Structure 1
Amino acid sequence: MSDIDVIIVGAGPAGLTLAAELSLAGVRPLVLEQHLVPRETQKASGIGGRILDHLRFRGLLGRFEELSSDPHIAPRFPFGTLQLDLTQLTDSPMHAMPIAQWEIERLLDAHARDLGAEIRRGHEVLGVRQDDDTVTAEVRGPDGTYAVTARYLVGCDGGRSRVRELAGIGFPGTTYPEVNRLAQVTLPAPVRLLDNGDIDVPGLGVVHAGFTRLDTGVFAFATDPESGITSLMTTENETTEYDDEEPLTLAELGASVRRVLGVDLPMADPKRLSRFTFKDRQAENYRAGRILLAGDAAHLLPATGTALNVGMLDSVNLAWKLAADVQGWAPAGLVDTYHEERHFAGARARLQTRAQVALRRGRDEADEALRQVIQELLQDEPALRRMGALVGHSDIRYPMPGADHHALTGAFAPDLTLHTEQGTTSVAELMHAGRPVFLDLADRPELRAVAREWAPRLDIRAAEADDQPADALLIRPDGHLAWAAPIGEPAGTAAATLRAALAHWFGSPSGA
């Protein structure tokens, strides 16, 4: 019998999130990372959307805020060369936190290790084989090759996933013939920053802040008036295959700016330099027997600011389901719901990033008219709110079995302020342990009696809420609602639907 429950291939954000969530659930993960030391190559520059809510539900959000350059940055985001300005809303459905990916990984690494996860760096997976009960990885480490066996193996090893290839999972989609270069720099004299945020470039004239579309490509920039740091990006049609590990240099960026704008742009003090291409791909299945995929191994999205967040949420969804199976109480088909739910969520992420491709790449007058119409629509609150939720991944409502569900069922649980005999708390605080929670908001003893049949697998809480959305909530470990009782629903109906939901997600009653 192996002393490892789940092998995780890859120590990026998705892999480390999965390791932490599995450890929190009492499962023994092993992370295998082929690189000997953590990489500080600039990739993602922040996290945002629903994953911030999850971090709050685990009590981790403060750790990220401490390392962020602006943890409460105004919610303004690019959307396919348009501007998604959510500051117009009193309660934005999408927030973001600037923080370098290598710092995100360092935080997640420390958190996973604190919970007991084992992380081996410099260990490359060469092969994978599985049978009905286990999966074995052939690994090359610093001291030679060896084999390790576990109940499951999860490939979190990026867009060129070796695990996905070994599992024979198809990865259809499109790679767009363009290269994007992104940087944070200062623009020294003779470039002049104008009061309205535009810049005056010698030999060219005024370049407006935002996106400038030319036959040679796209140039975009914005300058922080307080720090003087300019974030800029170029997009050019190219078919060159770049090594992701080969860093972008200031000279390469300068050459790209010259090709797009036609003049040299003085740049200095680079704070970030990164290069990326846009790929639109999704694994045909997130599971092949005892091998599963998460993060970039499962999907590549053709726009920035989304992939890391979606990948971490894959892991949050998967962890508790694998833990239930390893611990022997998972109902039939529970692990399969990972593909059903997260493939659906990945398709939603592809929908909005594909739309950004159309807005970004179209060059004729009709395309410009489309951009203008959509930008006008985004001035209206309902459209702006809907788009913010789509980009932030906060519009995901997983399909649930049965019929006549409460409107909240399948959605992420609202973070209600709760009043108990012990004092004031919140839904987020109840979820710190990563366990399922039954929350009675209307003193329904008959529903608590049903929930107790699943104890100690289930935490049972009672409280009052200022803004009570339902009589009771059943919250899965990933924060999504498995069930909710409408206010005043008859006892017999509520008890029957609660029992069905508990059995569907958490197996047979504990004493059965």
Structure 2
Amino acid sequence: MSVVIAGAGPNGLMLASELGLAGIRPVVVDPMSGPDPQPRVNRIVGQAARILDHRGLYSALTGTTEPPKPAARSMFAGFPLDLADVTGSQLFTVPVQQRGLVHLLAERAGGYGADLRWGHAVAGFDQHDGDITVHVLGPDGAYDVSAQYLVGADGGTSKTRHLAGIDFPGMSSYDLVIRIGFDVVPPDAWITAAGAGTVSGLPPLRFYRTEHGVFSYGAVGDRVAVMTYELNSAPSDQRSGEAADEPAMSVGELEASATRILGTDVPLRPVSAGRPLDLRRIRGINSRIAAHYRLGRVFLLGDAAHVHSPIGGPGLNLGLQDAVNLGWKLAAVLAGCVAPGLLDTYETERRPAAERVIMQSRAQLALLRPGLEIASLRDLFGELLTDSDTVRRLGDLLSGADNRYAPGVGRHPLVGRWVPDFAVATARGSHRVAELARDGRPQLVDLTENSAVADSLGEIDDRLTVTAGSLVGALSATAVLIRPDGYVAWASSDEHPAADELTDLRDVLKQWFGI
């Protein structure tokens, strides 16, 4: 067995699917008896929408054959971001509950031959020079699995991280209590005053900050919700998360919290009388990043590597990109195409992305806190948001579109960036770049007049997908080499690239893919 993945959440299953696409059949273990039935996440925000599109999963989740479209609006620290007129916005949203995504990814991974073992948990492991022995506890007892790598995708309380002895430095804010009521709405008069939206007549999510906290209501993905963010001045027992020994949250508790924040009664009602409510209470916020993403043959992925405030829903955007980044690199090393040193780039590329999410989520929480100084800061921040460039920059920050992997000196501006969405017209018709990426292989798109780039390579390795044609749409390049995770590895803007550019292309093909 080549890879054992601990955790069958969306990130672990995405990694399993990526490995399966490359012909690797991982073992995926999860202590739960099946996919988590809890609703949890209600939408995917950011570049992860394009990842799903590149793998043909976006249409399966949304029921549309159209490509992802940027959101017309978003939010930062309770401030509305109007993105409708922002040219080239990359802030995509996919209205899907996490359990729907998990079911789809489990089906995809299983179709590729991944061995999904529900009710099995990693109990320990021993690393050796050439492999790793993973100790697993299953329903019928303990057993061992020999593999080359173990990936911990087992959440913020990751046992894999703990067993590996990897520190998890950061901070915890124990004074904050978040209460969420899905499928709960405020009085009809509030909804009418705010203006109709697309989900149960509610507008997009609105935030109201007072000196006592934040009250929010509106559409979240394909559901509606009421939320409160309230500072708890009671003595803390240093717990965070959803405490199991507390009584379940009620609508009355959510109403009382809203009343304390707004200073007036806030009656709430279910959207549907016969529909069960989804009520959650979260005490405290952890904001941490693992000291290492890799220790020998052990890797950390998603929440096992980083945790942060849930405000804005950045978790899946970050974790799914982790999975796709690591997936093709693991597959290339296991196939013997490239040296194991390629795996070191997983942390060097993905850690900065996590650091930016932690930075912006901490900044949002700071702007939501009470105090006259914060009120003045919000006044100033509101003035800055009248500048469209500031709105664009915040949109790119929230989506992850501002991430750039180290391009190297003198490289084309697209190198290290997520490839723009464009199409190529060939004799077989027009194909979007996302459609060309479905096989999970690196792809060279040659838009030069006489296929000058592709022809310069001579006989092309069948591990590289080559498409030559004419450009449909906008792209500031005549040729691009795209990695399996959607990032540009090489590009040129010349109709007849010079010899040194073509030499650079060959070097990049060798460096990243062993081609």
Give how far 1:446 is off: 5.5
Task: Verify the 8 A CA contact 2:420 2:475 in the aligned structure 1.
Answer: no
91, 101, 114: which is aligned to 1:117? 114
Residue of structure 1 in register with 2:202 after alignment: none
Query: Residues 244 and 140 from structure 1, CA distance in 2 versus in 1: closer, same or farther, beyond 3 angstroms?
Result: farther
Helix, strand or coil at the partner of 1:333: helix
Deviations 1:384-427, CA, capped at 9 Å, x for gaps: 111101101111111034x2110100111122111111111121
Residue of structure 2 in register with 1:312 after alignment: 320
Matched, 1:232 2:232: no
Task: Verify the 8 A CA contact 1:303 1:356 in the aligned structure 2.
Answer: no
Task: Verify the 8 A CA contact 1:172 1:283 in the aligned structure 2.
Answer: yes
Matched, 1:212 2:219: no
Matched, 1:431 2:442: no
CA distance in 2, matches of 1:443, 1:274: 58
Give how far 1:86 is off: 1.6
Residue 66 of structure 1 aligns with an amino acid whose one-letter code is G
Deviations 1:278-300, CA, capped at 9 Å, x for gaps: 21100111100100001000001
Residue of structure 2 in register with 1:205 after alignment: none
353, 356, 361: which is aligned to 1:348? 356
Task: Verify the 8 A CA contact 2:31 2:121 in the aligned structure 1.
Answer: yes
Matched, 1:257 2:236: no
151, 168, 172: which is aligned to 2:148? 151
Matched, 1:502 2:500: no
Residue of structure 2 in register with 1:60 after alignment: 57
Query: Residues 348 and 453 from structure 1, CA distance in 2 versus in 1: closer, same or farther, beyond 3 angstroms?
Result: farther
Give how far 1:85 is off: 2.4
Deviations 1:455-484, CA, capped at 9 Å, x for gaps: 022112211104352221111111101101
Equivalences for 1:4-403 in 2 at 5 Å?
Answer: 4-66=1-63, 74-177=71-174, 178-187=176-185, 192-193=189-190, 195-197=192-194, 210-215=207-212, 217-222=213-218, 229-237=224-232, 239=236, 241=239, 244=242, 246=244, 248-261=249-262, 265-269=266-270, 271-276=277-282, 277-304=284-311, 305-361=313-369, 363-401=370-408, 403=409
Residue 167 of structure 1 aligns with an amino acid whose one-letter code is A
Give how far 1:491 is off: 2.8
CA distance in 2, matches of 1:81, 1:383: 16
Residue of structure 1 in register with 2:198 after alignment: none
Task: Verify the 8 A CA contact 1:72 1:97 in the aligned structure 2.
Answer: no
Give how far 1:77 is off: 2.4
CA distance in 2, matches of 1:245, 1:430: 46
Give how far 1:90 is off: 4.9
State percent identity of aligned pairs: 38
Residue of structure 2 in register with 1:202 after alignment: none
**How many corresponding residue pairs?**
487
Give how far 1:97 is off: 2.0
Q: Please, what TM-score do these two structures have when normalized by structure 2?
A: 0.88
Residue of structure 2 in register with 1:420 after alignment: 426
Task: Verify the 8 A CA contact 1:84 1:384 in the aligned structure 2.
Answer: yes
Task: Verify the 8 A CA contact 1:75 1:95 in the aligned structure 2.
Answer: no
Give how far 1:220 is off: 2.2
Task: Verify the 8 A CA contact 2:448 2:496 in the aligned structure 1.
Answer: no
Deviations 1:329-351, CA, capped at 9 Å, x for gaps: 11352110001000111112122
Residue 84 of structure 1 aligns with an amino acid whose one-letter code is L
Helix, strand or coil at the partner of 2:345: helix
Helix, strand or coil at the partner of 2:341: coil
- Unmatched segments (≥5 aa) in structure 2: 196-204, 271-275
Helix, strand or coil at the partner of 2:413: coil
Query: Residues 234 and 146 from structure 1, CA distance in 2 versus in 1: closer, same or farther, beyond 3 angstroms?
Result: same
Query: Residues 293 and 253 from structure 1, CA distance in 2 versus in 1: closer, same or farther, beyond 3 angstroms?
Result: same
- Unmatched segments (≥5 aa) in structure 1: 199-207
Query: Residues 182 and 88 from structure 1, CA distance in 2 versus in 1: closer, same or farther, beyond 3 angstroms?
Result: farther
Give how far 1:214 is off: 2.9
CA distance in 1, matches of 2:249, 2:3: 36
Give how far 1:88 is off: 3.7
Q: Which moved more, 1:258-267 or 1:154-163?
A: 258-267
How well do the aligned residues superpose, as a CA RMSD in angstroms?
Answer: 2.6
Give how far 1:486 is off: 2.5
Task: Verify the 8 A CA contact 1:167 1:288 in the aligned structure 2.
Answer: yes
CA distance in 2, matches of 1:374, 1:452: 55
Residue 134 of structure 2 aligns with an amino acid whose one-letter code is A
Residue 281 of structure 2 aligns with an amino acid whose one-letter code is R
Query: Residues 268 and 490 from structure 1, CA distance in 2 versus in 1: closer, same or farther, beyond 3 angstroms?
Result: closer
CA distance in 2, matches of 1:79, 1:251: 28
Give how far 1:54 is off: 1.0
Query: Residues 465 and 34 from structure 1, CA distance in 2 versus in 1: closer, same or farther, beyond 3 angstroms?
Result: same
